[in-house]
Structure 1
Amino acid sequence: MEKASQLVVIPSGRIGHLVSAVEISKLLVSRHDQLYITVLIMKLPFDSKGTEAYRASLEASPVLPRVNFITLPKVPDLDKHLSSHSFRNQFIESHKTNVKNAVAELTESQSDSRPRLAGFVIDMFCTTMIDVADDFGVPTYMFFTSPAGFLGLLFNLQRIRDVYGKDVSEFKDSDTELSLPTFVNSVPDRVLPSVVLDKEGAETFLSYAKRYTETKGILVNTFKELESHALDSLSDGETPPLYPVGPMLNLMSDETQSGSEQAQQKSDILEWLDEQPPSSVVFLCFGSMGSFDEDQVREIALGLERSGLRFLWSLRQPPPKGTVVSPGDYSNLSGVLPDGFLDRTAAMGKVIGWAPQVAILAHPAVGGFVSHCGWNSTLESLWFGVPMAAWPVYAEQQLNAFELVRELGLAVAIKMDYRRDTQVVVSAEEIERGIREVMEHDSDVRKRVKEMSEKSKKALMEGGSSHSSLGHFLDQIFL
């Protein structure tokens, strides 16, 4: 009989990464009855109410009997005015001692009847925790929450930096088109992730990539049928073994406590959607960090009104300039929207703050999704068969949009190279065009998305590509 084994899972603090880590943990223990998992949670100093509620629900009622959650002690406050790269690095680095203490406590309490420590599974941002795993003499695996295409880009840019000595941030505004093994088409510099076009960001992310090669394997939140070219190109013997195990989705992520404010908001939204015809509503939502200034908000409003289409718009208030705090809800929507907009569109649209995204995408009234192309949102949209209009905002989203539009034909473009740190304002005309295009009922994009939706579900079924890949990973754990 195989000896029980334990993995320590370490997500970074952001809600999207925490949710994905919980989902992979649930799936792993469901596949092997001798596997135990401890998830170590790092609490951000500016967590949103939604994040706090989600974390509290994990601690209060374990999702499975063999998954344990430990919230690590709070670290000294960090300067919220640091760059996002510096803040993230300092935040995670400051938790190394807490992680070491928590794992020591786990291993010290072990006896012959307790699970052996088999390894760490770290988030893509938590490479510093490889040092802690080394201290315990166990291997490190990584869970990569972005697409394989982005992973391949990081490996290639890291080699360009370390082998050829080139500063990759010089690609910014260079009109360069890169030929990369993980992409069929050449990749223009204007869709490279903002982080690699910034000198500090490039150094940070390419240093992550260099440490990825120290891991024993990389779990990727994707599936073979979606990114076959990228995954094949990474099976070159130069990178650790890849295990495409996606789509990892929390289809219950919108569940809220009965009677809570969010529960009432969700109920109101779904009641409104219930009144709309099938596939008639375009949903606009830009993720937990997505927000726009007033000039851009007005252009979105004009584009929606001119389109004449039904819409559901998640509109968030930007955080104070120079901070890494999450956007919040407006107390007065009419103050940021064009005069009379809410009255004129009352019969065709609804403007909300926080959005129960999974429940909305699952609703039959939703026919299109204007999205920032965050990877979790992308996988959710594909799962429910809702075509996307790509409007990336930050991080690797420009590259995700390029992959979805140019490589895979699974989205239409509003503006693939938009970046929130510029003064560019996307016009109402561009927004209206993109909305109309994504809502075309007989488009090739819509047909391809429906086909990929079926493939995403089959990948997780017994005998499916991701189901088999996860089995190969578990074989490594129980060698």
Structure 2
Amino acid sequence: MEKMKAEAELVFIPFPGTGHLVSTVEMAKKIISRDDRISVTVLVMKFPFDSTHKQSPIHEDHQRLRFVDLPKYKPSEEQTSGIFMADFMNSNKLHVRDVVSQMTAEPIRLAGFVIDMFCTSMMDVADEFGLPTYVFFTSSAAFLGLVLHHHRLDVSDIKNNHLDAELSVAAFANPFPVKLLPTVFLDKEGGGSAMVLNIARGLKQTRGIMVNTFAELESHALDSLTNIPPVYPVGPVLNLKTDPHHHPFEEIMRWLDDQPPSSVVFLCFGSMGSFGGDQVTEIARALEKSGYRFLWSLRRPPPKGKIEIPGDYEDPDQILPEGFTERTAEIGKVIGWAPQVAVLGHAAVGGFVSHCGWNSTLESLWSGVPVAAWPMYAEQQMNAFEMVRELGLAVEIKIDYKRDFKAAENDGVLVTAEEIESGIRQLMDGGDEIREKVKEMSGKSRAAVIEGGSSYNSLGRFIEDVVKNST
């Protein structure tokens, strides 16, 4: 489709993980829908182990939005996470430079790069073309504050002696437990800690940072972000569309239609969320003992030692306790893939057992569904801390649970059926205080993005800076 003429073009470079990629594309759509002076080209990088970009509904036709798929990255050898990321970005720099060189021959004026936090090394390419760099930060303002705080951490001291200590971090009103730090923050030998420091340096050198949050949710964290480039809270930025033609969709929604209002607890753990057999047994025991209606998205772990997106079981009974399906047939449904946004928006759903990925957190608030927090990796423990301890918008199952991507099991560490059942009971029957707070925040999240709302106005300020910079 031929693109309409626009005054300025932004080059978006998202990180290829699902949670980053989808929300970044939604951000691009928001910008071009808001202002016809801007067009966007999204450069899609590809992991060697992942075809996420093909699974996500991102390649939609739009007159001022186009996608360029970059060649798939091929790692040379087994690498630690920090080295892999550096090599992945350096490899893609060449492709980005080639695409942008071709774009400079077009009549439209390039106004800058909009990059993911993990792509700050792409600022070198932007500098080569004399372009400013903005960041779209797909996580919370609190996590942005934690990343910027990282240079103050003595990683060796924390790792060896003080895992039970607490930190004073400006982005949090309460002391932050060291044991909830993302694993990469403490990865000195593998290069993870150095990677975070480099990200923080890059963030401070950008022209501005859009954050997928809204002022009414994270006022304290946003107020703490001083002495850095302008911060634009523009969220919640969500992909609220679900493909109704995806095979299980109709079956799942019909089942929910038959359940009473607010009676179902929904369990779903994100695009990378899966558990080994022992943990699945504990979850099943908790659900059966609790007696609540449930919809459980159960995913099959990748082979041990491999980083792959979990798949669906051909027959979930192969991993579930014997007789579980028959005993819970009247109250529960076990599925694979879940249309999460549609499920959270259904009147039958009364609670959400979640890994606390930031997109899932924002989706639950948008739908007014309270969460029982069970984080697993990345910044999810921090998100859970913020939701449970800082904001009082969620209950806890176990917020210090951590899982290794590369392990099919979590080194024998289990969240017990008793812990899970307790969290579910708090979620579904623990009184109205949290439920009412979540409902109120739902209204604020929707008000933030409409005309006159806090995020609507913040996005307007960002757009004006882009257009001004392109003239």
Q: TM-score range by the shorter chain?
A: over 0.9
The equivalences for 1:242-321 within 5 A come to 242-252=231-241, 254-255=242-243, 258=245, 263-321=246-304
Q: Which amino acid aligns with 1:448?
A: K
State TM-score, norm by structure 2.
0.93
CA distance change for structure 1 residues 327 and 458 in 2, over 3 Å: closer, same or farther?
same
Deviations 1:345-367 (A, max 9, x none): 11110111111111111111110
Q: Distance in 1 between matches of 2:64 and 2:36?
A: 9
Name the CA distance, whole Å, in 2 between partners of 1:444 and 1:100.
53
**Aligned residue for 1:190?**
179
CA 1:3–1:21 in 2, change beyond 3 Å: closer, same or farther? closer
TM-score by length of 1: 0.92
2:65 is aligned, of 67, 82, 103, to 67
> How many angstroms apart in 2 are the aligned matches of 1:366 and 1:83?
40
- Residues 172/68 of structure 1: CA separation in 2 closer, same or farther (3 Å cut): farther
CA distance in 2, matches of 1:367, 1:166: 41
Q: Secondary structure at 1:439's aligned position in 2?
A: helix
User: Post-superposition shift, 1:84?
Assistant: 3.7
1:224 correspondence with 2:227: no
2:135 aligned to which of 135, 142, 151:
142
Residue 395 of structure 1 corresponds to 378
Query: Does residue 132 of structure 1 match 2:120?
Result: no
Q: Structure 1 313/78 Cα, relative in aligned 2: closer, same or farther at 3 Å?
A: farther
**Between 121-130 and 84-93, the greater mean CA deviation after superposition:** 84-93
What residue is the counterpart of 2:89 in the other structure? 92
Partner of 2:148: 155
User: Where do 1:267-416 residues align within 5 Å?
Assistant: 267-416=250-399
In the alignment, the residues of structure 1 paired with residue 414 and residue 161 of structure 2 have an alpha-carbon distance, to the nearest angstrom, of 20
Q: Tell me which amino acid in the other structure corresponds to 2:126.
A: A
Retained in 1: the 8 A contact 2:6–2:38?
Answer: no
* 2:6–2:39 CA contact under 8 A, matched in 1: no
User: Cα distance, 1:412 vs. partner?
Assistant: 0.2
2:407 alignment counterpart: none
**Other structure's SS at 1:125 match:** helix
1:202 Cα deviation after fit: 1.9
Encode CA deviations 1:135-158: one digit per residue, 9 max, x unaligned.
000100001001010110111112
Determine the structure 2 residue equivalent to 1:215: 206
Deviations 1:60-88 (A, max 9, x none): x41x3111111112333555x53444333
> Which amino acid is the alignment partner of residue 461 of structure 1?
I
- In the aligned structure 1, how far is the partner of 2:82 from the partner of 2:239? 27
When residues 172 and 333 of structure 1 are mapped into structure 2, their CA distance, relative to the original with a 3 A threshold, is: farther
> 1:167: how far off?
4.2
Q: Which amino acid aligns with 2:273?
A: G
- Offset at residue 169 of structure 1 (A): 5.2
Aligned AA for 1:100? R
Letter in 1 for 2:33: S
Give the 3-state SS of the residue equivalent to 2:392 in structure 1. coil
Q: Which runs of 5+ in 1 are unaligned?
A: none
Of 424, 427, 430, 1:435 maps to 424
Query: Equivalents in 1 of 2:256, 2:161: separation in Å?
Result: 43
Give the 3-state SS of the residue equivalent to 2:353 in structure 1: strand
Deviations 1:209-256 (A, max 9, x none): 12111111100000000000000010x2x211100000000001x215
Code of the aligned partner of 2:301: P
Structure-2 residue corresponding to 1:33: 36
Offset of residue 470 of structure 1 = 0.5
* Secondary structure at the counterpart of residue 85 of structure 2: helix
Aligned partner letter, 1:464: G
* 1:104 and 2:93 matched: no
Gaps of 5+ in 2: 405-409
Equivalent pairs: percent with the same residue?
Answer: 56
Work out whether residues 46 and 325 of structure 1, in 8 Å CA contact, stay in contact via their aligned partners in 2: yes
Q: Kindly state the Cα deviation for residue 462 of structure 1 after the two structures are TM-superposed.
A: 0.9
Measured after TM superposition, the shift of residue 206 of structure 1 is: 2.1
Deviations along 1:33-53, one digit per CA (max 9) or x if unpaired, are 1111101111223335x6414
The equivalent residue for 1:425 is 414
| Cα 1:168/1:183, change in 2 over 3 Å | farther
Distance verdict in 2 for CA 1:477–1:91, change over 3 Å: same
Q: Give me the whole-angstrom Cα distance separating, in 1, the residues matched to 2:345 and 2:85.
A: 33
Amino acid at match of 2:434: V
Query: Structure 1 residue 317: deviation in Å?
Result: 1.1
Give the C-alpha shift of residue 323 in structure 1: 1.7
Q: Deviations over 1:416-443 (max 9, x none)?
A: 1000135320110010010111112742
Looking at structure 2, the residues matched to 19 and 342 of structure 1 have their Cα atoms a distance apart, in angstroms, of 34
What is the CA–CA distance in structure 1 between the aligned matches of 2:348 and 2:220, rounded to whole Å? 34
Contact 1:389 1:413 in 2 (8 A): yes
Cα displacement (A) at 1:26: 0.6
Q: Tell me if structure 1 keeps the 8 A contact 2:155–2:186.
A: no
- Cα shift at 1:334: 1.3
Once the 2 structures are TM-superposed, how far is the Cα of residue 292 of structure 1 from its aligned partner?
Answer: 1.1
Q: Deviations over 1:9-66 (max 9, x none)?
A: 0001112111111111011111211111101111223335x641436x61xx41x311
Q: Which amino acid aligns with 1:477?
A: V
Alignment root-mean-square deviation, CA? 1.8
CA 1:416–1:96 in 2, change beyond 3 Å: closer, same or farther? same
* Equivalent residue number for residue 206 of structure 1: 197
